[in-house]
Amino acid sequence: MSEVYKYELYCETEGKNVYDWGESEPTQCPIDSGHTVDLDSISIVETVSDEHVEVTNFATIDDTDNDPLRVVLAPGHAGYYMCDRDVLLKTGLVENANQDLKVNTSSHDRVSWNEVELLGCFKEDGTNGYVPCTNQTDANSNAVLSVWEFLANDQNEGNPIAIEFKGGSLFVDDTIPDNADKWEHQVYGVLAPDLPSAVGGTIRFFDGYLYPHRGSHMETINTIAMRVDPAAAPAAMSAKLRIWIYYPAGTKNEHILRLVTFRNVF
């Protein structure tokens, strides 16, 4: 087995530590052989062999002299824990258009979070606008837009709570057909949609065509979690996430919305 060492020594001429690789201790400055070096200062800081690499000058979890580097996905505030969950969104329905479920830890039943609400299933009004479908029969033929809204709440008391958004994704139904209407499938996700961008609202999370992502995820992840607080003025408007999904008339698809959040009240 052969080993090569990285030596650290002090160059008195340069006034700094210098480094040299070799199998034996250096006897002169690796930068300039004419420099004066302190041979008593020589130490080995790394070792390379044909069996392993040993690095001896980096911080570890047990190192009391140096702080270790930790890279984690973390909330912006202490006491918050990740809540990563899915919501099934069904387009073209006037009722029961989402499944927003959690487990009841006592009964083992699946129950609703009651945090995602269907705002409506809409059809075109003939003047470049939209009106709600009158019933499911109407939606089966004419629905082109489904809209949902997410607002986190205290699962014990039902009141809106502050959370932090890390981001999320949309798993796109793989049955979107390869036809002339494929580009009519679109999704928009906007945080605080009722507030103008000038006051910090209308933050766009999703804005894309669904067809290229059939059977896969559209994902948007922030590098830093974004705090939203329904207690801040103007009330809960700042904490709502609204999802619009557009589609060809009468289409029914199932997409899975994944929300990555941090919260301290469950």
3-state secondary structure at position 159: coil
The domain made up of 81-263 is a member of CATH 2.60.120: yes
**Per the structure block, which two tokens stand in for 111?**
């129950």
Question: DSSP states of 123-156 as a string?
Answer: EE-SSS-EEE-SSHHHHHHH--EEEEEE--B-TT
Cβ atoms within 10 A of the Cβ of 156, count? 8
- What pLDDT is recorded for position 47? 79
- What pLDDT is recorded for position 265? 81
Lowest mean pLDDT among 32-41, 126-135, 145-154: 32-41
- What pLDDT is recorded for position 205? 84
- What pLDDT is recorded for position 137? 97
Average confidence (pLDDT) over 138-146 = 97
Query: What type of residue sits at position 168?
Result: G
- What pLDDT is recorded for position 75? 64
User: Could you give the residue range(s) of every CATH 2.60.120 domain in the chain?
Assistant: 81-263
- The tens digit of pLDDT for each residue in 209-223 reads 999 999 999 988 887
Average confidence (pLDDT) over 47-72 = 55
- The tens digit of pLDDT for each residue in 153-199 reads 999 888 888 898 888 999 999 999 999 899 999 999 998 888 888 87
Q: Cis link prior to 234 (omega < 30° from 0)?
A: yes
Residue 193, phi then psi, degrees to nearest 5: -70, -20
**Per the structure block, which two tokens stand in for 186?**
């679109």
- What pLDDT is recorded for position 113? 95
- What pLDDT is recorded for position 88? 97
